[in-house]
Every structure is written in C-alpha cells, then in structure tokens.
Amino acid sequence: MAKNEKKVIRYATATSEDELKQILSLQRANLPTSVSPKEREKEGFVTVVHDLDVLTRMNDACPHIIAKDDDKVVGYALSMTDGFKDEISVLRPMFTELENVNIQNFITMGQICVAKTHRKQGVFRGLYNAMKKASYPKYDAIITEVDATNSRSLGAHYAVGFENVCTYHSLSQDWELISLKTS
C-alpha cells in the first residue's frame, strides 16, 4: 500500500464462525486485564467477555456489525435483543434500568470495539452508521451503557450522536445509559 493510500474498510453483518472468532480475539485484546491503566484511560476498554455460543446466538437473533480490512475483522458492534438480558450478568442491571425509562422499540448495542491499528480512522462512526442502517426501521433507537470512568468511549459515543438517558450505580461503579436514534 502506498504511503498516502487510504485503507478501504467494509462494513457488514457477521455471517461466519471465523468472523465471530475474530470478534472474540479482538475483545480479549481490549479487556481491562489486557491493557495498561494508562492505555485504558487514553484508548478505552471493553467490559463484557462473551463466549462463542452466546455470541453466535446473539448474532442469529440480530446480526452483529463488523468492520473488515480485507478478510480481517478490525472492529465490531455487537447487537443484543432483550431476550439475552439474563445471559450476561453484568448487563442485567442495564435492562432493569431500562424498565424505568420511557424508551420503546430499541436494540441494544452490547459492545463496540475497534482494533488499535484502525483507531482514529472513522471506524467507530462507520460501525454505528452501519448499525443504524441495519436497525432502521425495525428499531427506533440503539441503546447501550458505558462505564462512567471510560471517558474515551463516552466522548466517542457522544460525538456520533448518543444522548444520556440516565446514570446509575451497579456492580460498585457508575454507568451511563445512552441512546442513539436510528432515523
């Protein structure tokens, strides 16, 4: 690739077990236990650990959005219907909180992550644009939560149009519940 040649990133839904395995690999590389405290503050991190079975079933219910550079998954936004609210314990409080707010007809974005090699290149925004297109008109909003200490992730979410629904305390930390309209 020439020095100034821009990479072509493709956005699609996950369709193969190999793509799901690549998501899990990227997830493991960005857990708080895999990055230094300085990197967590500067670059962000992911909180939830999935296994292939749950990730596959989530994808079957509502396909995950992936960003690919050639055949390599370099980013993902996981889709999660409320049918999975009892399967991922760290997310149960978010679904409980959602019962207390007036948001109807939404899909939950279960986690978003961009490979370190592809950050600051618009992939985060591209994932959400693709997720909005895939979700509309079936869903009116994309809902997610972000650890209130993850300032990098919060800033990125607000920059693409998310709005704060509420902040709540669960599992010894504060969470920001946020929403993005799909239309």
Instruction: Note the pLDDT of residue 36.
Output: 87
Instruction: Note the pLDDT of residue 71.
Output: 94
List of residues 6+ apart from 144 with CB closer than 8 A: 108, 109, 110, 112, 157, 162, 177, 178
Q: Which long-range contacts (CB under 8 A, 24 or more apart) does 95-100 make?
A: 97/166, 97/168, 97/170, 97/175, 97/177, 98/143, 98/177
DSSP 31: S
Helix intervals (H) in the chain:
17-29, 37-43, 52-61, 92-98, 123-135, 151-159
Cα 1 to the chain's mean position, in Å? 29
pTM of the model: 0.89
Instruction: Note the pLDDT of residue 156.
Output: 92
Instruction: Note the pLDDT of residue 50.
Output: 93
Give the count of beta carbons closer than 10 Å to the beta carbon of residue 32. Answer: 14
At CA 158, angle to CA 155 and CA 162, rounded to 5?
145
Q: Which domains does the chain have, with CATH numbers?
A: 9-181 (3.40.630.30)
Divide the 183 residues of the chain into consecutive groups of 10 and give the mean pLDDT of each group.
69 98 96 86 83 96 96 96 86 88 89 93 96 93 91 92 94 93 91
